Structure 1
Amino acid sequence: MLLAMVRPAQTGDARRSSATPARYRELVNALEPPPDRPMPLHELERAVPGEATMIRQMARIAAEAVVTNYCEMKVSDCSTPAMRDQHAKTHGCVSAEFIVRHDLPPEFTTDLFRPGARYTATLRFSNGRGTAGSDRKIDARGLSIKLHEVGTDTILRMLAPDKASAGEHDFALSSFPIFFCKNVIDYTLLMNAVSAPHATWREKLGRGLRWLEFVIRCPRQFYLFLRIAVEGLLTVRNPLTATYHSMSPFLFGEHKVVRYLVGPRDGQDEGARWRTFVPWTKPENFLRDALVRDLDPHQPGADVVLDFSIRVRHAATPDDVEDASRWWTRPQDEVVRLGSIAIPRQSLLAQNQLYDCEHMVFNPWNCLPEHRPLGSVNRMRLAVYLASRQVRRKLNMVA
């Protein structure tokens, strides 16, 4: 992103391409209004001044990012589909089974997490960028989980019935414990800088000033923004051995405030530590290669097992809920394992699997009410995910 501020505007083939943002602007202008934020807010939530306006602005930026990235990729590959505005590159989607602990304590039992409950699941491993580039670039890593046959309507299905399939429950996680922005205000400042036009020197100067404003007003957030991307490159060499976090807070039951945590049962792969990992010696798609290798059905071996846990915030406050960049390090904070995810050996690269994976939709609001997302960052994600989904599916002509 920093290089893009001084990189020359595209010329030649890019300008001659029929896939231009202007051609698809009508898709962005025709965005369906997002559903209202779920009201009333939770007792620990606090609305941000001007929040609704900023959320609409971020939804439009997400939709425009889908169009812009689609047009840029069409220059080199006319068959490329429109991708997500974030976490565009997929390493693979795998089938799995989600198994809740038989001995789950009663205080952590909900309609979803019932002792011994089992759900079929689909896991999508990804990079964080909005374009499908090399795994050797600094970037966060992501994991999305979709549970099937849950049996209870989710918040998203109640708000927008045509935007979610029945019986699903989603989790969206990343490879860093906290989000890089505190709230929707910080995120708006950042995205205004990221999405600013930069075709001319005047526009580049304006974009640079927006970045400067963000760095001055939010130095900690800028540091986290860079740290998340760098650590994603230097500490993750295999999607199956990484640890993933929901980053933002969620309700659990009636009163608990938690963050989700998913990682390998045997602990973090020590070989993935940055001191022993030289990423630029790896192939461009080394994360997909690792996933395919470790799940090869023609090789002997047991299922890969990931633990699914929650980090429970002790005596949660509104600041814990509304500040998604806050570390949770109180001695009384508790990590509780809720269950496990068993991933059997399987093939990943069949064309129908790749197609289904590319067009699968995840949304953190596609969840049961007792596990609702909390905070302004999550309230923003409801509109942003839906806007990205709408434009992407229309560009790809997916019903």
Structure 2
Amino acid sequence: MNRDTIQGWLRGRRRSDAVSFAQASREDPIVQSFRVAREVQRFWQMARRSVRPASAPARSSEPTPTRYEELTKALELQDRPMPLTKFERAVPDEATLIANMARLAANLVIKNYCDMKASDRSVCAMRDQHAKAHGCVNAEFVVRDDLPAEFSTSLFRPGARYRTIVRFSNGQGRPQSDRSPDGRGMSIKLYDVAGETILRGLEPRIAPAGEHDFLLSSFPVFFCKDVVDYSELMEAVVAPSGTWREKLSRTLKWFLFIARYPRQFYTFGRTAVVRINNPLTATYHSMSPYLLGEDNVVRYLVSPVRRDNDITPWWWSFLFRSRSENFLQEALVRDLTPAPPGDDVVFDFSVWLCHGARPQDVEDASLWWTRPRDRTVSIGQIRIPRQNFLTPDRVFDGERMMFSPWNCLQQHRPLGSINRMRLAVYLASLQVRRKLNMVGP
């Protein structure tokens, strides 16, 4: 207890002693006992206050979404590349919808970061989509020697070879068990590519020279037609559900979306139930359309060149194999282990050509191309050698690496409002992620 506090109390007591003793001689003994008890209580309370440690200040460093609001407000949103190609048509209020989706993606990065930080202080901010990687592997992209001239570009030159990185991932924005229903992703980055990509022309500080990206997923088409219904879907996905009013509002949003867009909701559900046992035996799709040259509209298709013993029926794995939370990464490790030496894992890289493409074929990313003259054309191969890809340097580079559909040459420009939205969304996610992790370009 503080000495000055006690001395002050004693001085006060001495000044009132004469009165106290005079009163005590005239007071009833019971009253006197109550008075003594009250004085003891006051002394005890004062003693507790003097020795009680000061209350700890609130932890201002506690990560909460509110703390990072300024990051979202300070976003530098890239506008849509203009002019549009002859295959594209802008949707109503497109610029506003894209800006809203970019901020939503940034907020998702922040929210997921804060939620994970509460249980693990060492966690880093992750992508708003495809956060959990199964592995980043070295590969080689080889263009076929006999590629037809109508599909040749400055990138797709017959016989061309490119050093490549392939990132396999889950679709969700937060790491979760591989057993959970989810889409699977395959991101491809080519190096030593001649020419400037669209993204490098827009953001030279972010996009290094000589790179070219392809982004693919495990379902053939996108689950939304355009940025209009995508924005309505995301409003339902991220709607709060803490109170009963919020739960009711969220349920209403889902009901309205399903009623207005039944086909999109059906496709959305199907993307999460595609069953994949091994990233190296799955087929991947760009889902959205891209330009090829000047007059061709295509989707990209990457499928494994399988041997008979590479195929395991899904029901066999379901019944007889116990799966861990990271069974997809374990499959990569098992099939790419350097010892004993073995053959490369080979994927065929093809384009799905939309014959006589119209704006409705391009602007509706959920549309299946099934006309008789639509066809698939092989462009080349992706060859993945045996390797150890779980080294600390490779894991770090894989998390820091940037992939964007707009990190491509002009002859391979992304098409449609979904892709125009992805330009702003990917950049917003990248900006916030790097600021949270305090990592520069």
> What TM-score, normalized to structure 1?
0.93
The structural deviation recorded for 1:272 is: 4.7
State the distance in 1 between where 2:363 and 2:293 align: 19
Partner of 2:64: 20
Q: Is the 8 A contact 1:241 1:269 kept in 2?
A: no
Matched, 1:147 2:190: yes
The structural deviation recorded for 1:281 is: 3.2
Q: Is the 8 A contact 2:281 2:311 kept in 1?
A: no
Partner of 1:11: none
Greater shift, 139-148 or 216-225, is seen at: 216-225
Task: Indicate which of 234, 240, 263 corresponds to 1:220.
Answer: 263
Matched, 1:76 2:119: yes
The structural deviation recorded for 1:198 is: 2.0
Go from structure 1 to structure 2 and tell me whether the alpha carbon gap of 1:206 and 1:16 turns closer, same or farther (over 3 Å shift). Answer: farther
The structural deviation recorded for 1:44 is: 1.3
Task: Indicate which of 330, 339, 355 corresponds to 1:314.
Answer: 355
Structure 1 stretches of 4+ moved >4 Å: 267-270
| Code of the aligned partner of 2:177 | S
- Within-5 A mapping of 1:231-270: 231=274, 234=275, 236-266=276-306
State the distance in 2 between where 1:374 and 1:269 align: 38
The structural deviation recorded for 1:16 is: 11
| Code of the aligned partner of 1:24 | Y
Go from structure 1 to structure 2 and tell me whether the alpha carbon gap of 1:273 and 1:47 turns closer, same or farther (over 3 Å shift). Answer: farther
| Code of the aligned partner of 2:360 | D
State the distance in 2 between where 1:54 and 1:270 align: 44
- Within-5 A mapping of 1:89-128: 89-128=132-171
Partner of 1:6: none
The structural deviation recorded for 1:271 is: 3.8
Go from structure 1 to structure 2 and tell me whether the alpha carbon gap of 1:56 and 1:346 turns closer, same or farther (over 3 Å shift). Answer: same
Report which of the two structures shows the higher radius of gyration computed on alpha carbons: 2
Task: Indicate which of 213, 217, 232 corresponds to 1:174.
Answer: 217
Aligned-residue CA RMSD in angstroms?
1.7
The structural deviation recorded for 1:43 is: 0.6
Greater shift, 164-173 or 200-209, is seen at: 200-209
Partner of 1:398: 439
Aligned partner of residue 145 in structure 1, secondary structure: strand
Task: Indicate which of 291, 307, 313 corresponds to 2:332.
Answer: 291
Matched, 1:31 2:75: yes
User: Deviations 1:43-93 (Å, cap 9, x if unpaired)?
Assistant: 110100000000000000000000001111112221111110011100000
Aligned partner of residue 161 in structure 1, secondary structure: coil
State the distance in 1 between where 2:307 and 2:181 align: 24
State the distance in 2 between where 1:169 and 1:268 align: 33
| Code of the aligned partner of 1:259 | R
State the distance in 1 between where 2:307 and 2:201 align: 38
Partner of 1:129: 172
State the distance in 1 between where 2:309 and 2:437 align: 38
Task: Indicate which of 65, 79, 87 corresponds to 2:130.
Answer: 87
Aligned partner of residue 310 in structure 1, secondary structure: strand
Q: Is the 8 A contact 1:241 1:268 kept in 2?
A: no
State the distance in 1 between where 2:266 and 2:70 align: 36
| Code of the aligned partner of 2:287 | M
| Code of the aligned partner of 2:259 | I
State the distance in 2 between where 1:110 and 1:91 align: 32
| Code of the aligned partner of 1:29 | K
Greater shift, 344-353 or 380-389, is seen at: 344-353
The structural deviation recorded for 1:107 is: 1.0
Aligned partner of residue 88 in structure 2, secondary structure: coil
Partner of 2:421: 380
| Code of the aligned partner of 2:134 | H
Partner of 2:236: 193
The structural deviation recorded for 1:269 is: 8.1
User: Deviations 1:312-364 (Å, cap 9, x if unpaired)?
Assistant: 01111111100000011112111111000111111111111111101100000
| Code of the aligned partner of 1:387 | A
Partner of 1:5: none
Structure 1 gaps of 5+ residues are 1-14
The structural deviation recorded for 1:296 is: 0.5
Partner of 2:200: 157
The structural deviation recorded for 1:270 is: 7.5
User: Deviations 1:248-283 (Å, cap 9, x if unpaired)?
Assistant: 000000100000000111379884544434189311
Partner of 1:7: none
The structural deviation recorded for 1:208 is: 1.4
State the distance in 2 between where 1:70 and 1:153 align: 33
The structural deviation recorded for 1:17 is: 8.7
Partner of 2:382: 341
Q: Is the 8 A contact 1:271 1:277 kept in 2?
A: no
| Code of the aligned partner of 2:114 | C
State the distance in 1 between where 2:306 and 2:293 align: 28
State the distance in 1 between where 2:436 and 2:61 align: 16
Question: How many correspondences in the alignment?
Answer: 381
Q: Is the 8 A contact 1:17 1:75 kept in 2?
A: no
The structural deviation recorded for 1:199 is: 2.2
Go from structure 1 to structure 2 and tell me whether the alpha carbon gap of 1:269 and 1:217 turns closer, same or farther (over 3 Å shift). Answer: farther
